[in-house]
Chain A
Amino acid sequence: MHEMSLCEAIIETAEKQASIQQYKSVKCIHLEIGELSCVEAEAMHFAFDAVAKGSIADGATLHIDRVPGQGWCSQCEAKVKIKQRYDACPICEFYPLDIRQGDAMRIKDMEVI
């Protein structure tokens, strides 16, 4: 349940940014979570509601954009879609592919008051 720790990190960021960017509460948090990262969106929502209670983001909505996995096939010299880190190239079945997208977890922006 590392989603709990990730949500704590998000709340910490929101509280730290409050004095820098001058806001009092957070209404929406927009995340980009790669499909190849070890994060379940549902677990993230569940954990967020619990962790956000009493914080600057109490009652805030969590928006999660799933960023699709993308790898580079050095045989085809092409970017290809992948579902798993170890997927082979769907065109020529070569692996390993160089992961180019979909393994990151980022806080993109927040809607604040």
Chain B
Amino acid sequence: MCTVCGCGENEEQGHEHHEHAHSYDHDYSKGEAGVHVAGLSQSRLVSIEQDILAKNNSYADANRGYFAQHGILTLNLVSSPGAGKTTLLTKTIEALDSAFPISVIEGDQQTANDAKRIRATGVKAVQINTGKGCHLDGHMIGHAMGDLKVKDQSLLFIENVGNLVCPAAFDLGEAHKVVILSTPEGEDKPLKYPDMFHAADLMILNKTDLLPYLDFDVQACINNARRVNPGIKVLQLSATTGEGMDNWLNWIKAAREFSLIGSLSIGEA
């Protein structure tokens, strides 16, 4: 008998109550015990009571613990494809001008193009190709950290796969998810993809240099984001022209200071 829905209890009467198809046979005499004992089922119910993402979350927790102990600030950049994550990253790395060590984990389904763009700025980058996967997960990040040999008290950027749906659910152990929304995408993106904007601590409204040519209501966009996530911070900038970049760099520096406080490497110094 299926102990989930109780089907099989009255099988001798023949029943049609299934709303779902059971692919297995109800004739227990063909089962492993080779007998059919009324009221005694070969199958049993085992309780699991576990979050589906429990395993990913345990990897993420391990990553987070490592980052905290070693004073590493990790930022997970998420956006639609084409919102300008890689351009923002390269401009950010250039503007920070080696103030502290930076490394980058690049996630894309295919190609190592983005990692090449990052390496051209002089920082270490590792490319993860997810193949059919639509997001990075905690396990991939753990491996990439080993490849990168991420330095203590450094800044680690994770550029997630361009996708506003799937990466929302997968914790990587980062300090903050930073969601990048570009002005040509429209101001209703936070309502269309509420999970991502809910999960992010900071929204960067990118490509503000295009605003004069677009019918984009900045305030409506911010209101939409705050409707989904009242605590979300918002920065407006153009990675291409550099307008508004100072606020972003200051936010990174402040977040980094915060990640250094209480880390083991500082405590031991």
Q: Are A9 and B228 in contact (CB under 8 A)?
A: no
Q: Are A111 and B55 in contact (CB under 8 A)?
A: no
Q: Are B230 and A96 in contact (CB under 8 A)?
A: yes
Task: Give residues of chain B (101-127) contacting chain A, Cβ–Cβ below 8 Å.
Answer: none
Partner of A86, one of B55, B165, B169, B227: B227
Q: Are B23 and A2 in contact (CB under 8 A)?
A: no
- Hey, what's the 0/1 contact readout for B208-223 against A, CB within 8 Å counting as 1? 0000000000000000
Task: Give residues of chain A (64-113) contacting chain B, Cβ–Cβ below 8 Å.
Answer: 84-86, 95-96, 104-113
Q: A56 contacts the other chain (Cβ, under 8 Å)? A: no
CA distance A43 to B21 in the complex (A): 17
Chain B contact-residue range equals 35 or more
* Contact residues of A: prevailing secondary structure: mixed
- Hey, what's the 0/1 contact readout for B179-206 against A, CB within 8 Å counting as 1? 0000000000001001100100000000
How many A-B pairs fall under 8 Å by CB?
115
- Smallest beta-carbon distance B23→chain A, Å: 5
Q: Are A13 and B55 in contact (CB under 8 A)?
A: yes
Partner of B48, one of A4, A5, A6, A13: A13
Q: B2 contacts the other chain (Cβ, under 8 Å)? A: yes
CA distance A5 to B59 in the complex (A): 15
CA distance A36 to B54 in the complex (A): 18
Task: Give residues of chain A (5-60) contacting chain B, Cβ–Cβ below 8 Å.
Answer: 5-6, 9-10, 12-13, 17, 21, 23, 27-28, 30-31, 37-38, 59-60
Q: Are A5 and B133 in contact (CB under 8 A)?
A: yes
CA distance A96 to B194 in the complex (A): 13
Question: Chain B: which residue is nearest A107 at the CB level?
Answer: B48
A-B residue pairs in contact (CB < 8 Å), sample of 11: A2-B134, A4-B132, A9-B53, A13-B55, A85-B194, A105-B51, A108-B48, A110-B46, A112-B43, A112-B44, A112-B46
For the A-B complex with A2-B135, A5-B135 known, give 19 more contacts whose Cβ atoms are closer than 8 Å.
A2-B166, A6-B53, A27-B2, A28-B4, A38-B166, A59-B24, A60-B23, A61-B22, A84-B194, A85-B195, A96-B230, A107-B50, A109-B48, A109-B49, A111-B44, A111-B46, A112-B45, A112-B46, A113-B43
